[in-house]
Amino acid sequence: QVQFVESGGGLVQPGGSLRLSCAASGFTFSRSAMNWYRQVPGKEREWVAAVSTAGDSTSYVESVRGRFTISRDNTKDMMYLQMNSLKPEDTAVYYCNKNFFAEYWGKGTLVTVSS
């Protein structure tokens, strides 16, 4: 069974940093491009960042480009999102997955950016 366990969220002040982790299992992690998504209650899920299978190519939604860095460690079936210069509008539950329309989702990790 495909599983994702997100962690690393918390309360941080504007301008602060957090590093999110995603532990994946139930599939061949190294063969799948991976993504981070986020969702605010009452709003549609938003794609945030993607990383290629080998981790050599990344892409970001414009609003986080230059502030967030996505990476992966295929030896550990782990993916990460380094979040710097956080803004209140980054507040959301962050999820990792293989694609936007995936069947299985983890519980996510809540990131709250507030003073």
- Share the mean pLDDT of the chain: 97
* C-alpha–C-alpha distance, residues 8 and 56, integer Å: 23
Residues 31-39: what's their mean pLDDT? Answer: 98
Look at the block and give the residue holding tokens 């918390």: 10
Q: Which residues contact 92 (CB under 8 A, 6 or more apart)?
A: 38, 39, 40, 46, 110, 111
* DSSP sequence for 58-73: EEE-TTTBTTEEEEEE
* C-alpha–C-alpha distance, residues 34 and 32, integer Å: 6
* C-alpha–C-alpha distance, residues 76 and 86, integer Å: 27
pLDDT in tens, 10-34: 999 999 999 999 999 999 999 999 9
Look at the block and give the residue holding tokens 């994702």: 4
pLDDT in tens, 49-79: 999 999 999 999 999 999 999 999 999 999 9
What order do you get walking across the sheet with 78-83 strand by strand? Answer: 3-7, 18-25, 78-83, 68-73
**Total length of the chain:** 115
Greatest extent of the chain over all pairs of C-alpha atoms, in Å: 40
| pLDDT at res. 107 | 98
